[in-house]
C-alpha cells in the first residue's frame, strides 16, 4: 500500500515508521523546508524523538503532489492546521482513506475535526485515537488504539494496514465519543499537571481522572456520544496515559504552571499544547449545551482569567455534595 503522512512532528514520524515496518511504501510530508531538511540530513528529530532513526526508505518531502494515488493519507498536524491541510488535499488526485490523528476541535466553528475534513473533501474519514505516545510507538512499545469511522470497510482497511505485534487497533463507530475523548482528555491532563506541579499527590490525580472522565462523558452524551465509549481506549485509556505520563506536553504545561510559571512562558517552553486551546473551546461548548463541567470551567478560569490555582482547587473540593452515581446528563439548572 502507499501511505502518506502529513505532518512530520513526533506522532507523524511514529506512524510513518509503524507503516514502514509493515512493508508499506511511506511518504512523510511537512510544509516546512527547515523541518524536512533536518530530517533528511540526520534521519532523526533530535527535539521530539531523540535517538530514533527514521528508515531511509521513508520518503520525506515538502512536495505535496507526491502523495497522489495514496491508499491512506494520515493528517498528523496540530488541530489548528487540520482545515488548511484538508483544503490542500482538494487538489490531490486520490488521497485514498483520510485518517485524522490530531486531537482537538476547530476554534471558530467548534466542529469536530472529522466534520472539518468532511466539509472540505469527500474521501472516507477514519479517526485513530487512544493511549499512544509517539516516543513509545516509535520504539515499538505495544500499543492499542481505536480506528473509528462510520465506514466500517475504511476502518478495517486502516486496521489491516497498521496491525502488528506492537500495534493493535479496535473498530468503533462512535465518532462523537471517540473525538471528544481525545480532545477533552488534554484539559484534564493540564489540570493533573498543575496538581503535580503544586506537589499534590496520587489521590488528587486519581480523583481528577475519574471526575474528569465523568465531565467528558457528560458533554459527550449531551452531544450525542455513546456513554460506553468513554470507558474505552479513546476515553479512559487516553485519559490515564496523558494524566500520568512524563511524555505528555499537556501534563508538562500544567506542571510548569503549578510550579509558578506564567501561562505564556509555559506555552513558549512546551510547544504545541492542545489542552490549552481545547479548554476554551470545551468551556464554550459546555455553555452552549448547558452541561455542568466544574473541573473544565475552573481550568478555563485559571488559563484564561488568571484565577489562582489554589482557589480553583478549594472551589472544587467545597462544591455542594452530590451522589457519585447521579445521571450523566445534569443540566446547569439542576
Ligand X SMILES: NC(=O)c1ccc[n+]([C@@H]2O[C@H](COP(=O)([O-])OP(=O)(O)OC[C@H]3O[C@@H](n4cnc5c(N)ncnc54)[C@H](O)[C@@H]3O)[C@@H](O)[C@H]2O)c1
Active site residues: 185
Q: Give CA–CA dist 32/30, Å, rounded.
A: 5
Question: Whose Cβ is closer to ligand X: residue 84's or residue 326's?
Answer: 84
Residue 262 C-alpha cell reads as 506564567
**Interface with ligand X, residue 9, by CB under 6 A:** yes
Smallest distance from the beta carbon of 249 to ligand X, in angstroms? 7
Size of the site for ligand X (CB under 6 A): 28
CA atoms within 13 A on the CB side of 315: 15
Residue 269 zone, left/alpha/beta (φ > 0; ψ -120 to 50; rest) = alpha
Smallest distance from the beta carbon of 172 to ligand X, in angstroms? 16
**CB nearest ligand X: which residue?**
9
Question: Whose Cβ is closer to ligand X: residue 143's or residue 222's?
Answer: 143
Smallest distance from the beta carbon of 42 to ligand X, in angstroms? 15
Q: Give CA–CA dist 286/298, Å, rounded.
A: 13
From the list 9-17, 150-158, 226-234, 318-326, the region that binds ligand X by CB under 6 A is 9-17
Among 101, 123, 126, 225, the residue binding ligand X under the rule CB under 6 A is 101
Residue 186 C-alpha cell reads as 488534554
**Interface with ligand X, residue 233, by CB under 6 A:** no
Please list every residue from 124 through 143 that binds ligand X, using CB under 6 A: 132-134
Question: Whose Cβ is closer to ligand X: residue 28's or residue 221's?
Answer: 28
Q: Alpha helix locations (H) across the chain?
A: 10-21, 33-42, 82-89, 113-120, 134-137, 152-162, 175-197, 202-222, 238-244, 249-258, 263-270, 274-289, 294-305, 309-317
Buried b or exposed e, range 130-152, using 16+ CB within 10 angstroms:
bbbbbbbbbeeeebebbbbbeee
Smallest distance from the beta carbon of 182 to ligand X, in angstroms? 7
**Interface with ligand X, residue 275, by CB under 6 A:** no
DSSP one-letter code for 99: E
From the list 3-11, 50-58, 224-232, 303-311, the region that binds ligand X by CB under 6 A is 3-11
**Interface with ligand X, residue 61, by CB under 6 A:** no
Among 76, 157, 158, 295, the residue binding ligand X under the rule CB under 6 A is 76
The residues near 174 (Cβ < 8 Å, ≥ 6 apart) are 148, 225, 226, 229
Q: Give CA–CA dist 35/62, Å, rounded.
A: 9
Smallest distance from the beta carbon of 81 to ligand X, in angstroms? 3
Binding mask 28-57 for ligand X (x = CB under 6 A): --xxx--x------------x---------
Q: List interacting residues with ligand X (CB under 6 A).
A: 7-12, 30-32, 35, 48, 76-79, 81, 84-85, 101-104, 132-134, 271-272, 274
Amino acid at each position: 500500500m502507499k501511505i502518506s503522512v502529513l505532518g512530520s512532528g513526533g506522532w507523524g514520524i511514529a506512524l510513518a515508521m509503524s507503516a514502514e515496518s509493515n512493508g508499506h511504501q511511506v511518504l512523510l510530508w511537512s510544509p516546512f523546508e527547515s523541518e524536512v531538511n533536518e530530517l533528511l540530513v540526520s534521519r532523526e528529530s533530535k527535539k521530539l524523538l531523540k535517538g530514533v532513526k527514521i528508515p531511509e526508505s521513508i520518503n520525506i518531502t515538502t512536495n505535496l503532489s507526491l502523495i497522489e494515488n495514496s491508499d491512506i493519507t494520515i493528517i498528523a498536524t496540530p488541530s489548528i492546521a487540520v482545515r488548511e491541510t484538508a483544503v490542500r488535499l482538494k487538489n490531490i488526485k486520490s488521497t485514498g482513506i483520510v485518517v485524522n490523528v490530531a486531537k482537538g476541535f476547530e476554534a471558530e466553528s467548534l466542529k469536530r475535526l472529522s466534520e472539518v475534513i468532511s466539509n472540505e473533501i469527500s474521501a472516507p474519514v477514519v479517526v485513530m485515537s487512544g493511549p499512544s505516545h509517539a516516543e513509545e510507538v516509535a520504539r515499538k512499545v505495544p500499543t492499542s488504539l481505536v480506528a473509528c469511522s462510520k465506514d466500517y470497510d475504511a476502518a478495517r482497511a486502516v486496521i489491516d494496514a497498521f496491525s502488528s505485534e506492537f500495534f493493535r487497533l479496535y473498530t468503533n463507530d462512535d465518532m462523537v465519543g471517540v473525538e471528544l475523548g481525545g480532545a477533552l482528555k488534554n484539559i484534564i491532563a493540564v489540570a493533573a499537571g498543575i496538581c503535580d506541579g503544586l506537589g499534590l499527590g496520587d489521590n488528587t490525580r486519581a480523583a481528577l481522572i475519574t471526575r474528569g472522565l465523568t465531565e467528558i462523558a457528560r458533554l459527550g452524551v449531551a452531544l450525542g456520544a455513546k456513554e460506553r465509549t468513554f470507558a474505552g481506549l479513546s476515553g479512559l485509556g487516553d485519559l490515564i496515559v496523558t494524566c500520568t505520563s512524563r511524555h505528555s506536553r499537556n501534563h508538562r504545561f500544567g506542571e510548569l504552571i503549578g510550579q509558578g510559571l506564567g501561562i505564556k512562558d509555559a506555552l513558549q517552553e512546551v510547544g504545541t499544547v492542545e489542552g490549552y486551546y481545547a479548554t476554551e473551546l470545551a468551556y464554550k461548548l459546555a455553555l452552549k449545551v448547558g452541561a455542568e463541567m466544574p473541573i473544565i470551567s475552573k481550568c478555563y478560569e485559571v488559563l484564561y482569567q488568571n484565577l489562582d490555582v489554589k482557589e480553583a482547587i478549594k472551589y472544587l473540593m467545597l462544591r455542594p455534595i452530590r451522589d457519585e452515581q447521579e445521571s450523566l446528563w445534569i443540566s446547569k439548572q439542576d
